[in-house]
């Protein structure tokens, strides 16, 4: 792997991670020293990327052009279809929120941006002893959806409505 390929993949890893990515983890992943990672980060910054170093690792400071909370309702069997609809149209499913009568609002970070993320999320659900949060509220739940534009969010909303998953507050 060339240095340019490594840096490109590092950006992808940092961008797709729900948490800061430690330099030591990147070094181990690419089988290079921590110093090589520091140099790569410097080159990425010089190329114009806003890579921020935190005490827990690296993050990218990328502005989100648009976000919207969508209320949806669907079965477990439709979970993959819902998530793929969002990511295929260019959205990111940032989280899931349920409003429970006793426990109040419960939220979990998802950061699902690609079909690979959808696949990994579904595998995690299947391999564990847990079920989706939506199951405690009769399948009703909200997602914070992030995208590059309001137009993309409109496309996502229209597609979910067409699939009869979107819940309108006025209905």
State the binding site for Ni(2+): 74, 82, 141, 143
Would you mind telling me the total number of residues written for the chain in this entry? 171
Distances from the Cα of 152 to the Cαs of 65, 66, 88, 145, in angstroms? 10, 9, 11, 10
Vertex 46: Cα angle to 43 and 50 (nearest 5): 100
What separation, in Å, do the N-terminal and C-terminal C-alpha atoms of the chain show?
54
Which residue ranges make up the annotated binding site?
74, 82, 141, 143
DSSP conformation class of 148: S
């Amino acid at each position: 792997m060339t240095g340019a390929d490594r840096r490109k993949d590092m950006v992808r890893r940092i961008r797709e991670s729900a948490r800061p990515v430690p330099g030591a983890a990147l070094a181990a992943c690419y089988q290079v020293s921590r110093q090589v990672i520091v140099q790569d980060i410097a080159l990425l910054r010089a190329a114009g990327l806003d890579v921020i170093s935190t005490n827990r690792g690296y993050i990218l400071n990328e502005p989100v052009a648009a976000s919207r909370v969508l209320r949806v309702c669907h079965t477990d069997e439709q979970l993959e279809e819902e998530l793929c609809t969002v990511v295929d149209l260019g959205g990111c499913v940032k989280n899931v929120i349920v409003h429970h009568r006793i426990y109040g609002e419960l939220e979990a970070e998802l950061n699902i941006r690609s079909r690979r993320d959808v696949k990994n999320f579904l595998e995690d659900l299947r391999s564990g002893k847990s079920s989706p949060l939506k199951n405690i509220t009769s399948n009703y739940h909200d997602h914070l959806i992030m995208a590059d534009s309001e137009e993309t969010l409109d496309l996502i909303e229209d597609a979910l409505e067409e699939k009869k998953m979107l819940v309108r507050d006025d209905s």
